[in-house]
Chain A
Amino acid sequence: MRDWSLVSLSVLFGLTARWAVSLSSYSGAGKAPMFGDYEAQRHWQEVTYNLPVEEWYFNTSDNNLLYWGLDYPPLTAYHSLLCAHIAQLINPDWISLHTSRGYESISHKLYMRATVMAADLIVYIPAVLLYSLYFSEGSSKKKVSTMLCMLLYPGLILIDYGHFHVCFPQHWNTYNCVSLGFALWGVLGLALGWDLCGSLAFCLALNYKQMELYHALPFFCYLLGKCTREGLTGKGLTHLLKIAGTVAASFALCWLPFLADPAQALQVLRRLFPVDRGLFEDKVANTWCSLSILVKVKNLLLPQTQLRLSASHTVCVLCLQCIPIVFVSAVHPHTWLFFWLFSVHPHCLCALPVCLLISEIPFMSTWFLQVTTFSMLPLLLKDGLLLPYIVTSLAFLLISITLLSALEQTSEEDLKLKQLFTCRRKHMPWFNAPLLAKSGYILSVLCMAVLSFLSAALSPPARLPDLFPVAISLFSYVHFVGFLIYFNTIHLTELPSKKTEKKTN
């Protein structure tokens, strides 16, 4: 069959799955007074449409920041404004100031879902198409399989199209497809060698969601490394300056309305990084879900210590990974993707880079993606998304096993562990990596199934109300540590060989 039809079928299939998930029950509904993320998005449309730019980030009589105040970078606000203008054409009640609070109706829900779908179609899906068709390896059939797998990654679908409410205020929201899509465009730009376009796209991602900062360091290191290679005194310097200029210009463009008055810009920053409100600790504790669970279990560490611990942890891991990228020259885009896996952040954000590895290491990436989806189970349960969760996870498992034949790609070669094991083999001849990996995978999938079933079907004992969420977090945490070690290992051991291999291309 011709490629175009397979590609269009995959895209249609991805869209069908997305829309089918978006039909699922509307759980944030009626939960006054705060409602959920859905209401937050609607409220931002209301605020951006009705108030002048200067008031968007300020607490005024018309803009109560305690009620879902805008705390995302300007690009998100502009997006809300655009959506609001369209909403105004359809039904002005949806965004009328004050009176529209907690507005809920079927047609409005449809409208919100449609905006997500539109954003997805414009930003994320084309990037996935381009990436999987031009930058992944293998036959055209394999490329299409990779694409389908990336499009059907359950985590992103469930977060963007399922309905999340008051869990993780600030961090989890719809429209993840936009920021991740822009980040992906950034990767594509760098992969094509268009560094300026790449950095522009990534700046847009940063200006859409400050969470993208997690991804920023590898971008920075990669570009810095490239400039160093060209010679920091001559060509490299101009290149660096050009990139810096692009970044500065794109930031300036995004922040234009707020730059006139320094107070404005400061207020926006304060909203984005609310350090002074003392919320930071809470949120990090939240985000560092697994870690905080450990703390909860042991009940030993104070929140402050915990914060410091997590921060230092991140920095350590980051340094470990970023140092080589600056010094090792001639890094191929594929290789540096490994760098993205730097935090124990068990969510979508680090799922994107792993998505990009699907065609290279299908076994490990699909396993990892499966675990990330599983780690969100407590939240999904709270939102009544059990059915879509089960269906999409099973579908993802099915696709990864049949289309990508993930289970068969467990040889040392496939796992990129060959170098490591050649020296190891002398000492441990009994060590059978494929068998170990395969049985580990099956065991872990079984565990996930059992835990999912238990937490959905049984009510926990009265003494331990959080038993299942804790178990799930712990389970995922163990996996993430394992994956962290694994991806770091292959990253550090694979670099030299990759370098020579890719240079010839």
Chain B
Amino acid sequence: MAALTAVSWSCFLTLSIGVSLLKCLLITTYHSTDFEVHRNWLAITHSLPVSQWYYEATSEWTLDYPPLFAWFEYGLSHIAKYFDKEMLVIQHLNHASPATVLFQRLSVILTDIVFIYTVRECCRCVNGRKESKELLEEPAFILAMLLLWNFGLLIIDHIHFQYNGFLFGFLLLSVARLLQNRHLEGALVFAVLLNLKHIYLYVAPAYGIYLLRSYCFTKSAPDGSVQWSSFSFTRLVALGTIVCSVFAVSFGPFITMGQLPQVLSRLFPFKRGLCHAYWAPNFWALYNAVDKALSILGLKLKLLDADGASKASMTGGLVQEFRHTVLPSVSPLTTFICTLVSITPAVLCLWRKPQGPRGFLRCLIICALGSFMFGWHVHEKAILIAILPLSLMAVDNRRDAGIFIILTTTGHLSLFPLIFTAPEQPIKILLMLLFTIYSLASLQRLFRKEGSLLSWLEAVYLTGLVPLEVFCEVVYPLTSWQQTLPFLPLLLTSVYCALGVTYSFFKLYLSMLTEPEGMQKRKDQ
């Protein structure tokens, strides 16, 4: 259903050029260590033979992305040499000449073209509304705005520095292909994505089950359950061939060189702590906070031994391990099981009564959120894996729009600690306001006939973020707590946001398990 007319096409172009210009303005802003990480990878792939890529360890930022991403860096490095040859020397740690910065920033901005193309494809999958005459109320337009101008992507890619736009381009492209019922293309794109960045393994169960159930089985029984006789072996073979060949291209050379264990050990480092340097607002943030509260309480009531209580601050800004005082400590295996348990019902539901591509999309978001909630060493940036696909559903119905508002606002706010330098504070706040006001106003307008998006409690909760932020950014630095409780703002922000994220997780789950049949039928029409 092509909702893009000529007018909205030019509008889409304006939006994407506009956001690219904004990205260009951000070139001179602060960049995090990820900048050096990627510079180092450029140097590694450029100056070493393939066999050395996953062994090189001059810099602490070793190559820990899958091979296709290394090849991507290799390709970039051949353009980089025209900007500044010095950045391609491995020994030049922390090399950040203006030409290097310009090149790296431009590479992010230009590879975002993949993302822009994808957004266009996604907009085509959105049902146009017949009753709305105004372009600004067109769901496709709102979706384009929500994706292209996503606050998280802007600050992570273009201030903090990473290549997420390009990677999310692949993710959403595969989603769009599945929505368009072009399953093989979708599988191909997703296989490529997995070989670019393996964090997307979290959502792989949704892909696997959906493709198996809705593609390899050509028919469903009338009640929606599996019809075993309709299994198509050729489809399975086609799917398998595509996925395996992508993996063969990517990992094949390393398997022949016998380096697979080394590559895998680089890709999955379990040495890191339960929580990332800044707490992601997930279940473990709540868990840690409860532990902290209990230990303080225990010390007050003299139930705990003061020496035994670990005084380590969990959010000192370093990636470190942390022993819980009262509650049992968490091992990687525990988190793995928790994650698995959290996504199983959704995956099972997808298997037992697939609700078309929309059901898949919902399951994908739940997988992403589930792994975000319970995963080991989760980065707060991982919330984007849930937020971006959720945008697609937010313009589709009111309930998801409400969830979207809560999840984006809390998830985006939890990204605030990533940008901590003073000059970038106003940008961060302004962009956040821009996105939040836009999403609230436009989605509310879109579903104005169906009532308000948020219940009063949710509205109160979201409003609470404002005083919280004011306290953390303005009041807190003026108080003496800065010395005694250095982790307080991060703790407060992540715990408060974790509540919202958990709430939207459960709400999303509920909507998946109880999606009424009537709604389902309406969408199929």
Contacts and interface: CB of A to CB of B under 8 A. Distances in A.
Interface of A: 1-2, 5, 8-9, 12-13, 15-17, 19-21, 23-25, 106-107, 110, 117, 141, 387-388, 390-392, 394-395, 398-399, 402-403
SS class of chain A's interface: helix, strand, loop or mixed?
A: helix
Given A391-B25, A398-B18, A1 B430 contact: no
A23 B29 CA distance: 7
A5 B14 CA distance: 20
Nearest to B142: A1
B11 interface: yes
B291 to A, nearest CB: 37
Contact of A398 (B17, B25, B26, B437): B17
A16 B11 contact: no
Contact of B434 (A16, A21, A392): A16
19 contacts: A1-B442, A2-B441, A5-B441, A8-B437, A9-B438, A12-B437, A16-B431, A19-B426, A19-B430, A20-B22, A23-B424, A24-B28, A106-B422, A387-B28, A388-B25, A391-B24, A391-B25, A392-B25, A394-B17
Interface in B14-47: 14, 17-18, 21-22, 24-29
Contacts of A21: 25
A117 B14 CA distance: 27
A17 B19 CA distance: 11
A25 B28 contact: yes
Interface in B406-461: 422-424, 426-427, 430-431, 433-434, 437-438, 440-442, 445
Q: For chain B, what secondary structure do more than half of its interface residues adopt (helix, strand, loop), or is it mixed?
A: helix
Given A20-B22, A402-B11, 20 more contacts: A1-B136, A1-B441, A1-B442, A5-B442, A9-B437, A12-B430, A12-B433, A12-B434, A12-B437, A19-B426, A20-B25, A20-B427, A21-B25, A23-B427, A24-B28, A387-B24, A390-B24, A394-B17, A398-B14, A402-B14
Contacts of B426: 15, 19, 117
A23 B28 contact: yes
A25 B14 CA distance: 28
B86 interface: no
Contact of A395 (B21, B28, B137, B440): B21
A132 B11 CA distance: 22
Nearest to B134: A1
B10 interface: yes
Given A17-B25, A387-B28, A110 B422 contact: yes
Nearest to A10: B434
Interface residues of B, number: 31
Contacts of A9: 434, 437-438
B310 to A, nearest CB: 36
Nearest to B17: A398
Contacts of B28: 23-25, 387
A25 B27 CA distance: 11
Contacts of B11: 402
Nearest to A26: B28
A1 B438 CA distance: 10
Contacts of A392: 25
Contacts of B440: 5
Nearest to A394: B21
| Most chain B CB atoms below 10 A, which of A16, A17, A395, A399 | A16
Contact of B445 (A2, A12, A110, A395): A2
Contacts of A1: 134, 136-137, 441-442, 445
Contacts of B431: 16
B131 to A, nearest CB: 15
Interface string B119-155: 0000000000000001011000000000000000000
A478 B495 CA distance: 63
A17 B137 CA distance: 25
Given A2-B441, A9-B437, A12-B433, A20 B26 contact: yes
Given A21-B25, A23-B29, A24-B28, A5 B437 contact: yes
Contacts of A8: 437
A387 B27 contact: yes
